[in-house]
Structure 1
Amino acid sequence: MSAGYYETTDLENWTPFLPSTTNGKSPERVTAIAATPDGTTYTIDGLAGMVKKTGNEFTQLPIPPLQGISGMEDLITTKAAGLFYLNFSAGVTQFLNGKWISHNSALQDRRLLCLAKDNKERIWTITDNGAVWCFENNQWTSQPHIPFWNELVGMAFDKDDNAYAYGNWGVVLLNRSKGEWEVVRPLFDKSIQKIIFDEQNRMWLVMYRWPVVAGDDFPQFGLLRYANGKVNAYTEGLNFLREPFDIEFFKDQLLVLTTGGELHTFNERQILTFEPEATYPTGAPITVKLSTNSAFDPDNRVAIQLNNQTTGARITIHQTTVNGHSVTFALPDTLRGGQYTINLLTTAPEIMSNESRPFRVAPNGSPINEQPNEVVLLQNIPNPATGPTEIAFYLPQAAGARLDLFNDRGQFLKQLGNAAFPRGWNFVQTDLTSLRSGVYVYRLTTGDVVKSLKLIH
């Protein structure tokens, strides 16, 4: 980066740290940058030195030993062992107690290909002959030799501290019990440029080969997700993936930053677009839109999951019609009335979409499909009820209404609803779990109208 750096806490407001905004205190040319959990930032200017920023205070620190600069370089912070810096010409140096310590001799003066930190704050590196080293308790220990060091890009560690290495040939996993690196077969022959892990310990990968190699049989740019032995590929559907890019998690959001300066948030589940009507009769066809933040395989199948908001029941409808980005399905004739939401379920890639806004389902012949001219109170559903149940009533005009529950002796038990309700059908949910089994009465009062019905628990 040729002109400082920027910080943000919300992705909306960015604070520039440039020589022009810090009275020359921040570096002009950033070749490496790292930050600690408390917000302390370290930047290395390949021409001037290292700067530590704590709050608004800038401290100039000794320059690391350099033997040439090759673009952005690796800088890692640790809690107890200070900083580790990889200059691809000068090797690994450690900044501790105000001075730089070279580790080249311990690493046999080999050229180092990458630098990484695991969850136990151990430092790992791989040399240009496939030797793997781990720094712990102030010493380097040799690890199983990696057979794939040519075109190696880096290392990554999942939440369980499993070690992965990756490059233009794919991904390998260190099998500690066998003392060897094993190929992750579903990712073999993929050109991987970065790996990170989300809170569910799923692997996210940057895939591209740059410059383009003639004859590649996979997309030039792609965002991959790997979990449970299966790869989800997000390629053509992400139309901004047309140049090299980087990924990182920020407050549980996956960020995609392209070399052209575009910053995107990515949510694999945000593929459903549906503005439901208030009520649908059973048997009615419904059409939703399948958005394209993913490239779906030709054999991708789409199902609908119906979620009953009262009972928690889920129903999967596999009989759907896909036409372009439109997915049409019919509400089952046997579907119980109530309030529902839907999710889209896709198979290639495997995604459960975002959840829709709720809508009402009324069985054919149900009064809910009608618009009467008077106040109507319906039988609760389900009845008998063992737990959650729903009560529907109709108001011919907007009005205040109160719904109360009584026992079979007419004693008031609790208020189920008391508010200004709009014209039309209104629905109140209540949970009877805490009540004894028996017969109860619920009563609707609105203006001069009073209506009551019995329910069984």
Structure 2
Amino acid sequence: MKKIILILLIPFLTYSQGWFIQTTFSPAQSLQTVRFYGQNTGYTTAPLYNGSTFNIHKTTNAGQNWVAQSSGYTSMRFMAIWLQHPDTVYMSGNDGLIIKTVNGGSNWITVNSEATLQLWGLFFVNSLTGFTAGSTGRIMKTTNAGSNWVNMTSPTQTSLSSIYFINENTGFISGSAIALKTTNQGTNWVNMNAPSISGFENFREIYFFNENLGLYVSDAGRIVKTTNSGATWNLVNSGTTQSLFGVYFIDQTTGYACGNAGAIIRTTDGGENWFAQTSPLNEILTDIWFTSATTGYISNWSGKILKTTNGGITYIEPVSSETPEKFLLEQNYPNPFNPVTKFKFSIPISGNVLLKIFDISGREVAEILNKPMQPGTFEADWDASGFSSGVYFYTVTSGDFTQTRKMVLIR
């Protein structure tokens, strides 16, 4: 895990935090997913093995407080949540269960159950029509707000884990080494022949911007993208080898993904390249959701909710009348280092500042800073835990100024 701390060397500053632990549930619970409707109302869920049925948690104040609700089931794992409205919510999980509330969780009713079936994906295209998918390739559809669920024809018997529709007709499903597509409201599904490194690789979550442009993240740490509706797929630079479980795009350029060992990665070019963000945990991060361009939440396997209010960026922004005479990027110290080193740089004029790390092949491996800043002198600590030994380069760019220096990581 990489940790980044920026320290201002001149007076007067304002501090902005990246990702932080907002909530810790006790006893610890294996949070599977987190979902919000609007800015304030959200749900998360995890199984309890102490006989309690209060395995659903709801917030109405942007995660400041979470109130336990009873699902009516003990030791039950709900894997998917869909918020149709702050008061109308669906959840799906083990034993083929789909439960629903229409009063904000005061009461939950069971609208489907089937022993041995697991339902991991859940998506509604309007107030009446929704889909769920899960084990043995099962795909089901409702057209009456969940009162009845009908089996749809599925081309596979492998497990299915995620559903995403771009409109009422066109949708996508990902699963165990498979990605499916429908263009007729789920009546028929076709295999998009997505590449897999093994038959056991699980495409954990799928996301499409439009009918042609989409991607999926996998538990092999891969992100694979298509620009022609799955006719061809291209492996992109995920910036991590950790298993990835959740992905969320704010718009067509900026997205986030999370996964094992505290992995949080961000893209600003539509998923072509991804760069690590600082995580406060070295644990499994199961799901990610944003309520605005800067406010997001991540659920955690050990019962924690992470939050950011600034897009996950960690920095210190100076405000000072003292101005350096020139741009300067000094040699990192110590060098060689293991695993933490410090950068020092000065900027004499205001502007956007980039501080990036590259490996020996010239591949960008970390983006430490990408932020408009006032003149000042700064130090940045980089924790290269998780990176292999070797030669790396760090570059500061601001306006027409660019300077690069070499450093050596010895493990």
TM-score, with length taken from structure 1:
0.54
| Aligned counterpart, 1:11 | 62
Separation in 2 of the partners of 1:160 and 1:132?
15
TM-superposed deviation, 1:83: 2.6
Q: Is the 8 A contact 1:42 1:51 kept in 2?
A: yes
Q: Which 4+ stretches in 1 moved above 6 angstroms?
A: none
| Aligned counterpart, 1:88 | 135
Residue 255 of structure 1 aligns to a residue whose secondary structure is strand
Residue 139 of structure 1 aligns to a residue whose secondary structure is coil
Which letter does structure 1 place at the counterpart of 2:129?
G
CA distance change for structure 1 residues 330 and 345 in 2, over 3 Å: closer, same or farther? Answer: closer
Q: Which runs of 5+ in 1 are unaligned?
A: 20-24, 209-219, 286-316, 332-339, 360-457
TM-score, with length taken from structure 2:
0.59
TM-superposed deviation, 1:268: 5.7
| Aligned counterpart, 1:249 | 290
Q: Deviations over 1:265-296 (max 9, x none)?
A: 2446743325545x33674x9xxxxxxxxxxx
Task: Indicate whether 1:116 and 2:163 are aligned.
Answer: yes
TM-superposed deviation, 1:79: 0.2
Percentage of pairs with the same residue? 12
Q: Is the 8 A contact 2:82 2:90 kept in 1?
A: yes
Q: Deviations over 1:391-418 (max 9, x none)?
A: xxxxxxxxxxxxxxxxxxxxxxxxxxxx
Residue 283 of structure 2 aligns to a residue whose secondary structure is coil
CA distance change for structure 1 residues 206 and 280 in 2, over 3 Å: closer, same or farther? Answer: closer
Alignment of 1:188-207 (within 5 A): 190=241, 191-199=243-251, 201-207=253-259
| Aligned counterpart, 1:156 | 206
| Aligned counterpart, 1:327 | 344
Task: Indicate whether 1:147 and 2:164 are aligned.
Answer: no
Separation in 1 of the partners of 2:273 and 2:186?
39
Larger Rg over CA atoms: 1
Separation in 2 of the partners of 1:233 and 1:16?
32
TM-superposed deviation, 1:80: 5.8
Alignment of 1:13-92 (within 5 A): 13-19=64-70, 28=74, 29-31=76-78, 32-37=80-85, 39-44=87-92, 46=94, 50-55=99-104, 58=107, 60-64=109-113, 66-68=114-116, 73-79=120-126, 82-89=129-136, 91-92=138-139
CA distance change for structure 1 residues 206 and 90 in 2, over 3 Å: closer, same or farther? Answer: same
Q: Is the 8 A contact 1:134 1:143 kept in 2?
A: no
Q: Deviations over 1:136-176 (max 9, x none)?
A: 33521424322325312334224345222332161222342
Separation in 2 of the partners of 1:34 and 1:91?
18
| Aligned counterpart, 2:5 | none
Question: Over aligned residue pairs, what C-alpha RMSD do you find?
Answer: 3.8
Choose from 254, 259, 262 the match for 2:301.
259
| Aligned counterpart, 2:36 | none
CA distance change for structure 1 residues 110 and 37 in 2, over 3 Å: closer, same or farther? Answer: same
CA distance change for structure 1 residues 351 and 269 in 2, over 3 Å: closer, same or farther? Answer: farther
Task: Indicate whether 1:231 and 2:274 are aligned.
Answer: yes
TM-superposed deviation, 1:102: 1.1
Which letter does structure 2 place at the counterpart of 1:53?
V
Q: Is the 8 A contact 1:110 1:128 kept in 2?
A: no
| Aligned counterpart, 2:151 | 102
TM-superposed deviation, 1:259: 1.3
Which letter does structure 2 place at the counterpart of 1:134?
T
Q: Deviations over 1:248-269 (max 9, x none)?
A: 2133313233212222224467
